[in-house]
A and B are shown apart, each in its own frame.
Chain A
Amino acid sequence: MRTTRIAAAAAAALGILLATACTTDAPTEEAEDTATEAESGDEWFVQADYDRQLAQRDIEPEGDPATPWLQAIEPEWVDTSAFAQEGGDATVCFSNASVSNPWRVTGWITMQQQVQVLQESGQIGEFRHSDAGDDDDQQISDIQAFVDSGDCDALIISPSTTATLTPAVEAACESGVPVIIFDRGVNTDCAVTFIHPIGGYAFGADAAEFLVENLEPGSTVLALRILPGVDVLENRWAAAEEIFADSELEILGDEFTGGDAAEIKNIVTQYLQRGEVDGIWMDAGDGAVAAIEAFEDAGAPYPVMTGEDELSFMRKWQETGMTALAPVYSNFQWRTPVIAATMILAGEQVPAEWVLPQEPITEAELDQYLETNADMPSLHYAKFGGEDLPGFPDAWQDR
C-alpha cells in the first residue's frame, strides 16, 4: 500500500520531468532547422531595425568626438523656435524610471552633475525629478503631476516600459511642454527629441561578432542573460542569435540569471562540469566577474568573453589578461537630455531622433579607460562621460 504510493509519486515526478524534457526538445530542434533562414518572425527581432543599427555602427557621427554625448548619427534636425524662452532660469523636470541598477545610478549622478553646470551658467533654474522605482503606474502619475503642476518648462522622461508609458507621454506632449525621451523609447514620436545610443541589436552583435572572430570554429559558447521580455535585452540576444546562426560556434545554452552573481557562478560551474566552455556571451555585464571566477575555481582555462564597460569586469579582464570585449550601452547618454532641454528652450535645432555613438571598448583601449577611472568604484561604468564635469571624481566615488 505504502510502497505503491511511493511508486506513484515517483512515477508522477519522473513523468513530469520526462514530459517537459520531451516537449522542450521539439522547439529547440525546430529552431535549429529554421536558424539558417532569417528569423524575422521572432517577436523580438525586426530585420529592418537590426540592419539599420548594424549599419549605424560604421557611420561617422556628426559633432566633436571629444564630447560624444553631443554627437549624433545621421541627425534630422528639427526646429524648436516655438519653445524658445527668454531669460534662462527655466524649470526642467525629469521623470526617472528608476535607479535600480548600477548603470542607472552612474548615469543619474552624471545627469545631476551636468544640471549643476547648467544651473551655474544660468541656463536652468530649478531641476525637479521623480523616481518611479520601476513602477509603470507610479511613473504615469509622476508625469501627470509634472504636467498638472504647470511649472515645467521642459519635461525629460526616461520611460520604464514602452507600451504602458506611451499614453502618459502623449498626454504630456499635448500639454504643450517640450518633451524629451531618452534611453528606452515609447510608441509615439510626439516628443521633440528621442535620445538613445545605437541600440540593443548593435550591442548584441558587437559581442557575438567578437566571439565568432576570436574562437575556433566548433568552439562552445554559453550565453548568460538577465531577464526575458525586456526589449533592450531581448534585442541584444536576438542579434547575437542571428550572428551565431551563421557561424560555426556551438551555443551550449542561454540562461537567465537575474544578474545575480551567485546564480551566474552556479550556472557557469555546472556547465563546466558537463564539458568545456570556450566562450561566454553576456547581454549585460552585471556579475561578469562571478562567471570568470567560476572558470578559476574549476581550474578551467579562461574563456573568450564579452561583458560590459562596468569596471569590475574590466579590471578582472586586465588582471587576467583574457581575450575579452566590453560592449557599451553608452552611459554618457544621461548628459544629453538636460543639454537638449537647454537647446530647445533656447530655440536651437535638435535631432528628432538623437542617436548617440555606441562603441565597444577593446583591449587596446582597456588600460587607458582603467587609468582614467582608477579611483572609481567597481560598479561604475567606464564610458560614463563625466570626466570634464566639475564634480569629477568625487561625485561618482561617493555614492
Chain B
Amino acid sequence: MTRAKDLLLRATNPTATVFVLLVLVFAAVFAMNPGFFQGPSLMAFLKQAAPLVILAAGQYFVIVSGNFDLSVGALVGAQVVIAARLIDGEESRTAPVLVAMVLFGIGVGLVNGLITTALKVQSFITTLGMLLVLYGAIRLWTGGAPTGSLSESFRVFGRMGIEDVPVLGQIPWALLIMIAVGAGSVLLMRTRFGRVLMAAGDNERAAALSGARVGAARTLAFVLSGLSATIAGVLIGGFAGVSAQVGDGLEFTVITAVVLGGVVLGGGRGSVLAAMAGALVIEALFTLFNQMALPATLRPAVQGAIIIAAVAYAARRRPVPTATATPTPS
C-alpha cells in the first residue's frame, strides 16, 4: 500500500512526467505498428535517437547551471563538415581527425564558458553569437557547401554495431556510446561538481558565498556540452554521411527535449536521466507521426501542442513544496 503510494508520488513528480509520456508515446506507436518492438527495428530507433540523447545530456549540464547553449546545432554541423573535409575519404586520417574534433569541441565549449562566466555576457547571447560564428565560418571555409567525404572507419560509430546478436540483430555502437554517456553523466552529477552545478543554477549567490567555484563549474558545463556535440557529430555523420544541413535546428530540438524532461530553464532543478528521456520522447514522437502518416506540414504543430501540454502539466506540480517534489540530482 505504501509502496503503491510511493510509486504514485514518484510518477507525478515533474521529472517523472517525461517517463509517463515516453510510455504513452511508445504505447501509441505499438498500437499503430506492433512490429516496431521487434529487436531490429527497436535497435534502429535507438541508433537514430542516440545523438539527440547525448546532446540532451550535454545541454542538461548547461541548463541546470542556469545557462543555455544555443551553439550545439551549429557545432554538430561544423564538426561533420570539418571531418569530411579533413578526412576526404582517407582511412589513415580518421584517428587524428577524431582527436582534432574533440579538441575543437572542447575549445568551443571553453570559449562559450569563459565569455559567459569571465566576461559576464549572458549565455543566450554568447552561444547565439557562437552559432552565427560557426555557421558563417564553415560556409566561408567550404564556399557554401561541404566537400570531401568521411572514411568508412569514421562511419563505424554511427552506422555499425555488434552484428548477428540473437533477437536484436545488431546492437549499434551508437547505443553503447549513448549508455556510456548517460552513465557517466549520472555519476558526474553525484560528484561535488554536480552539486556545485545544481547549486549555481538554483541560487548563484548562495553557492558562491558557500565557497563553491561557480564560474569554473559553469565553464566546465559548456565544455561538456561542446564534447557532447562532438560525439553527436561523430554519430550523426557516421549514421547518414555529410550534407550541408547537418545539425540545422538541433539546438532547439535538444532544448525542447531537456525541458520536456522536467529540467527548469534558469537552472537548479531536474535530472539528467529525465533530460535524456526527453530526447527519447521527441524521437519517439517523430516515429509515431511517421507511423500515423501525419502530413509533414502538420507535425511541428502537433509536436508543439504535446510539448506545451506536457510541460504545463509538469509545471503545475512544481510549486508544491513537498519532499518528493524536490528532485535530487541524479
Contact = CB atoms under 8 A, between A and B. Distances in A.
Interface of A: 2-3, 5-6, 9-10, 12-14, 16-17, 20-21, 24, 98-102, 104-105, 108, 228, 253-256, 258-267, 269-271, 273-274, 286-287, 289-290, 293, 297-298, 312, 377-379, 399
Nearest to B287: A270
Contact of A262 (B17, B246, B296): B246
A260 B77 CA distance: 11
Given A20-B294, A262-B239, 19 more contacts: A5-B316, A9-B310, A13-B21, A13-B309, A16-B306, A21-B294, A98-B144, A99-B143, A99-B145, A102-B244, A253-B293, A256-B297, A259-B245, A260-B243, A261-B245, A262-B236, A262-B243, A266-B48, A298-B40
B286 A266 contact: yes
Nearest to B136: A133
A104 B246 contact: no
A273 B44 contact: yes
Interface of B: 8-9, 11-12, 17, 20-21, 24, 28, 33, 35-36, 40-41, 44, 48, 51, 142-149, 159, 236, 239-246, 248, 286-288, 290-298, 302, 305-306, 309-310, 313, 316
B294 A261 contact: no
A273 B243 CA distance: 24
22 contacts: A2-B8, A2-B12, A9-B17, A20-B294, A102-B146, A102-B244, A105-B145, A108-B144, A253-B293, A256-B296, A259-B243, A261-B240, A261-B243, A261-B245, A262-B240, A269-B48, A270-B290, A271-B290, A293-B241, A298-B40, A312-B149, A377-B148
A290 B295 CA distance: 22
Contacts of B9: 2
A344 to B, nearest CB: 28
A-B pairs, 9 with minimum CB distance: A261-B240, A99-B144, A102-B145, A261-B243, A260-B245, A262-B240, A256-B296, A273-B41, A290-B240
Contact of A101 (B8, B12, B244, B248): B244
A98 B244 CA distance: 14
B159 A13 contact: no
A24 B302 CA distance: 12
B230 to A, nearest CB: 16
Contacts of B236: 262
Contacts of A16: 302, 305-306, 309
Nearest to B249: A258
Contact of A6 (B11, B149, B241, B305): B11
B291 A270 contact: yes
Contacts of A3: 8
Contacts of A265: 48, 239-240
B244 A259 contact: yes
A10 B239 CA distance: 34
Nearest to A379: B145
Contacts of B246: 260-262
Nearest to A289: B241
A27 B41 CA distance: 30
B281 to A, nearest CB: 11
B145 A293 contact: no
Contacts of B144: 98-102, 104-105, 108
Nearest to A27: B295
